[in-house]
């Protein structure tokens, strides 16, 4: 049987999936192997190959059955998969600087390899889960984690951009002054901007911007008394889900920020779907539904056809990268007549 593999290279682990020509995933849940990326390209690429062999054997196949491999990694990297010459937090070894990881893996495996950054791979998985691999749909995904990642898929093609940062929605500026119930909040982002999406909607936003702001209003809150803002930030989601008023306000403000961003995307792309994923909404269905309704509430008044564009929750957060990478590779395999 011919299949396509998806390989998600994270900071510490490589996660694998396999997809068949009729769009069925052969691996349920996580299939991980240690990444060892700190030890440089040579060891890491060998790790990727070793883990891939284990993954295909688990599915009762051999490496020769894999006709295309889709790779995704954290950035910064070019759209073709050349890692930044300045290095990055996930690729600290000096040999990674300017390394063409897509080509390196293609040579190692002697197979065609496609490349996406992890945000775009996650977005493609969300898109596929709604529309399948053969469609002409347009979707915008926002993945709310430590930072804010995402992706823009226009008529089934991932917008990678000239330098590889297309669809990295986190640093798009918003009219944050119109977010309800946070007058005087001036949200700063690590990138240097004030009031971009990541500065109002991410775990970093909670730690850097919301908690210092809300602790002035709620000086006796249990998180203020904790005395460790980094730890406190991670507790906000759970407390919000349990109805804590301050933490609900923080999540409401994040949702409204996301609403402003989605409104900009609606006016730019007229998409078929808006998709939200990431750790922030790895919660019960009730909280997810509330969050989505608050995203909607944060949007300015829209024309009827704009207000009807659906907002979805992205499924299976943990495997999103590998699955998105596999879908990109499946498209390439089909174009090349390989599958
Ligand atoms: Zn920013």
Give me the numbers of helices (H) and strands (E) for the chain, helices first please.
12, 10
Report which of 337, 331, 323 is spatially closest to residue 15, judged by C-alpha positions: 323
CA contacts within 13 A on the Cβ side of 124: 29
User: For 53-97, what is each residue's pLDDT tens digit?
Assistant: 999 999 999 999 999 999 999 988 999 999 999 878 889 999 999
Distance 171 CA to ligand 1 centre (A): 4
CA gap 146, 143 in Å, rounded: 10
Strand 157-158 relative to strand 148-154, pairing: antiparallel
Distance 318 CA to ligand 1 centre (A): 24
pLDDT of residue 123: 96
Distance 59 CA to ligand 1 centre (A): 41
pLDDT category of residue 20 using cuts at 50, 70 and 90: very high
User: For 241-288, what is each residue's pLDDT tens digit?
Assistant: 999 999 999 999 999 999 999 999 999 999 999 999 999 999 999 999
Architecture of domain 139-315: 2-Layer Sandwich (3.30)
Burial class of residue 1 in the structure, from the number of CB atoms within 10 Å of its CB (0-12 exposed, 13-18 middle, 19+ buried) = exposed
Q: What is the mean pLDDT of the chain?
A: 95
Distance 191 CA to ligand 1 centre (A): 4
Distance 196 CA to ligand 1 centre (A): 5
- The residue behind tokens 């093609």 is 157
CATH topology of domain 3-134+318-335: Nucleotidyltransferase; domain 5 (3.30.420)
pLDDT category of residue 3 using cuts at 50, 70 and 90: very high
Distance 241 CA to ligand 1 centre (A): 27
Residue 108 has pLDDT above 90, yes or no: yes
Report which of 151, 184, 156 is spatially closest to residue 168, judged by C-alpha positions: 151
Distance 146 CA to ligand 1 centre (A): 12
Burial class of residue 164 in the structure, from the number of CB atoms within 10 Å of its CB (0-12 exposed, 13-18 middle, 19+ buried) = buried
Distance 81 CA to ligand 1 centre (A): 23
Please report, for the chain, the start and end positions of each structural domain, with discontinuous segments joined by +: 3-134+318-335, 139-315
Distance 190 CA to ligand 1 centre (A): 6
Distance 72 CA to ligand 1 centre (A): 22
Same fold, 3-134+318-335 and 139-315: yes
Cβ neighbors of 312 (< 8 A, separation 6 or more) are: 126, 130, 273, 274, 275, 276
Structure-model confidence comparison of residues 97 and 29, the more confident one:
97
Residue 150 has pLDDT above 90, yes or no: yes
Q: Give me the percent of the chain exceeding a pLDDT of 90.
A: 93
User: For 195-216, what is each residue's pLDDT tens digit?
Assistant: 999 999 999 999 999 999 999 9
Encoded tokens for 159: 């917008």
pLDDT of residue 67: 98
Residue 291 has pLDDT above 90, yes or no: yes
Residue 171 has pLDDT above 80, yes or no: yes
């Amino acid at each position: 049987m011919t299949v396509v593999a998806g390989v998600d290279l994270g900071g510490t682990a490589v996660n694998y999936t396999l997809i068949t020509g009729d769009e069925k995933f052969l691996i349920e849940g996580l299939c991980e192997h240690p990444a060892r990326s700190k030890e440089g390209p040579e060891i890491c690429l060998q790790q990727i190959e070793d883990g891939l062999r284990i993954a295909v054997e688990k599915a009762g196949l051999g490496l020769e059955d894999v006709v295309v491999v889709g790779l995704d990694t954290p950035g910064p990297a070019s759209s073709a998969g050349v890692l930044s010459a300045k290095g990055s937090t996930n690729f600290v070894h000096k040999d990674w600087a300017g390394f063409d990881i897509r080509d390196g893996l293609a040579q190692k495996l002697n197979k065609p390899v496609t490349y996406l950054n992890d945000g775009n791979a996650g977005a493609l998985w969300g898109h596929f889960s709604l529309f399948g691999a053969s469609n002409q749909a347009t979707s915008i995904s926002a993945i709310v984690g430590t930072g804010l990642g995402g992706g823009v898929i226009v008529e089934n093609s991932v917008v990678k951009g000239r330098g590889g940062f297309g669809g990295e929605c986190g640093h798009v500026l918003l009219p944050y002054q119109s977010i309800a119930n946070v007058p005087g909040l001036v949200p700063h982002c690590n990138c240097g901007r004030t009031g971009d999406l990541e500065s109002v909607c991410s775990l970093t936003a909670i730690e850097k911007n919301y908690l210092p702001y809300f602790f002035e209003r709620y000086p006796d809150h249990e998180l203020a008394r904790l005395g460790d803002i980094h730890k406190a930030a991670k507790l906000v989601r759970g407390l919000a889900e349990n109805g804590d008023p301050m933490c609900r306000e923080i999540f409401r403000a994040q949702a409204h920020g996301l609403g402003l961003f989605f409104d900009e995307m609606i006016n730019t792309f007229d998409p078929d779907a808006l998709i939200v994923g990431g750790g922030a909404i790895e919660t019960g269905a009730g909280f997810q539904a509330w969050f989505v309704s608050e995203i909607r509430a944060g949007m300015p008044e829209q024309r009827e056809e704009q207000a009807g564009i659906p907002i979805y929750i992205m499924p299976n957060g943990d495997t999103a990268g590998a699955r998105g990478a596999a879908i990109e590779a499946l498209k390439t395999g089909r174009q090349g007549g390989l599958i």
